[in-house]
Structure 1
Amino acid sequence: MKTIDELIKKAVELQAGGLLTGQIADELNVSRETATWLLVHSKKGDATAAPKDIYIDWSNIGRSSNRQRFIASSLTDMVIECLSKTGSDIDVIVGVALSGIPLANLIADELGVEFATYHPNKQKWEPESKETGGTISQNFANVAGKNCVIIDDVVTSGTTLTEAVAVLENLGAKPVAIAVLIDKKGIDEITGVPLNALLRVTRVDKSE
């Protein structure tokens, strides 16, 4: 997808498929505000300016397990470098659903540690809901009392990762690092947990 019209069309298709605004934002790697704008714009065709956001399409990596493996190795290298500075060990790699899971699985295998998944509650991203917590899947590793590294694909607002850190801490885990493919927010930490990104995207706007 290269144009706004294509993004709007995709957002409408995802909504027709039953996805809510938060899920659409996650699927398109855009902010919730951008996803809302795409849906409203499609129905009303208003001239409201689009939110300042950057659309990320990393499907050329995602469609190839071999390319994912190379990216996972790069993320692994960053994690090791980060933790060498703090002296922390790794017990569990936690993949954020959906797109962070395949990368996290490869990283856990490379490091020889346990693997867990965090599922953000996208249903709670709707405006009428105040509850935003997610869950750690019981089908994978237990995180209680363990040092955890969180893996995701794209940081847009930081909300999902903030929630993930809070959920892990509430379960008695210790998040020691976060690694992502792309950071659109330009931050170095999430609630005190170091954030490492292979790519940082910065939007430069001309001053009025």
Structure 2
Amino acid sequence: MKNIEELIQKAVDLQAKGLVTGQVADELNVSRETATWLLSRARKGEEIQAPKDISVDWSSIGKSSYRLRYISKVMADMVLDLLSQTNEDVDTIVGTTSSGVPIASLMAEELGTEFAVFHVLGQRVDNTHPGGIISRNFGNVDGKRCIIVDDVITSGSTISQVIKQLKEFGALPVGAAVLVDKRGTESISSVPVKAMIRIMRMD
């Protein structure tokens, strides 16, 4: 995205295709508050104060399976580093949302583990995070040691929901790996986080 007007138009286009605010936020890698602000800017006469957020466009990686494979190798190496620090093992890589799934799949191949998928459910009316489910079409997480993979951490709510769901299956989340951490966090719900890029605001 070159400027804010392009980002607003992209948000409007996604909403017109049937995506709700939370899905627009996930697709644009912005917070739900930012997605709400972008959509309100498109409506005349409605003005909401801009949230402090950063849009992440990693489509130059996502459009190339060659690039995705190498990024996944880097993230797998980060996971190995984390496991050596925590003296843990991993049985399953859990991909979240549509963006984390291809990376997680390639990481599972690289690390020789099983692969599981977490589906985020639709957004609630009050914009809170609804949680999600572990897909039964992929690896079983029952009692497994898991690494969670996502593309971008904005608020941490998606990874928090995955952690909660994994624990309900008796699984042990031993870490999370992401491309970009906009929250600047070392852990979420006591689960260590490794990020290729960590962004911190200096407000």
Above 0.5 in TM-score? yes
SS of equivalent residue, structure 2 residue 15:
helix
Instruction: Answer yes or no: is 1:76 the counterpart of 2:76.
Output: yes
| Letter in structure 2 aligned against 1:157 | S
Per the TM alignment, residue 202 of structure 1 is displaced from its structure 2 partner at its CA by 1.6
Could you say what the CA RMSD is over the residues aligned between the two structures, in angstroms? 1.3
Q: Unmatched 5+ residue regions in structure 2?
A: none
Q: Unmatched 5+ residue regions in structure 1?
A: none
Cα distance in 1, alignment partners of residues 21 and 74 from structure 2: 32
Residue among 146, 151, 158 paired with 2:149? 151
Number of equivalences:
203
Residue among 180, 192, 199 paired with 1:201? 199
Per the TM alignment, residue 189 of structure 1 is displaced from its structure 2 partner at its CA by 0.3
Per the TM alignment, residue 133 of structure 1 is displaced from its structure 2 partner at its CA by 1.9
| Letter in structure 1 aligned against 2:166 | L
Instruction: Answer yes or no: is 1:11 the counterpart of 2:16.
Output: no
Q: 1:29 to 1:45 in 2, by over 3 A?
A: farther
| Letter in structure 1 aligned against 2:42 | S
Residue-by-residue CA offset, 1:132-164 (whole Å, 9 max, x unaligned)? 120000000110000000000000000111011
Cα distance in 1, alignment partners of residues 60 and 45 from structure 2: 31
Cα distance in 2, alignment partners of residues 139 and 51 from structure 1: 38
Cα distance in 2, alignment partners of residues 45 and 85 from structure 1: 53
SS of equivalent residue, structure 2 residue 25:
helix
What is the match of residue 180 of structure 1?
Answer: 178
Cα distance in 1, alignment partners of residues 57 and 124 from structure 2: 22
Q: 1:199 to 1:125 in 2, by over 3 A?
A: farther
State the identity as a percent.
54
Residue among 136, 139, 148 paired with 2:137? 139
Q: Is the contact made by 1:21 and 1:126 (CA closer than 8 Å) also made in structure 2?
A: no
Q: More deviation in 42-51 or 146-155?
A: 42-51
Cα distance in 2, alignment partners of residues 78 and 133 from structure 1: 26
- Runs of 4+ in structure 1 deviating by more than 2 angstroms, as ranges, are 44-49
- TM-score under structure 1 normalisation? 0.94
The within-5 A match list for 1:89-168 is 89-121=89-121, 123-127=122-126, 132-168=130-166
Q: 1:72 to 1:45 in 2, by over 3 A?
A: farther
| Letter in structure 2 aligned against 1:94 | V
Cα distance in 2, alignment partners of residues 114 and 101 from structure 1: 13
Cα distance in 1, alignment partners of residues 46 and 125 from structure 2: 22
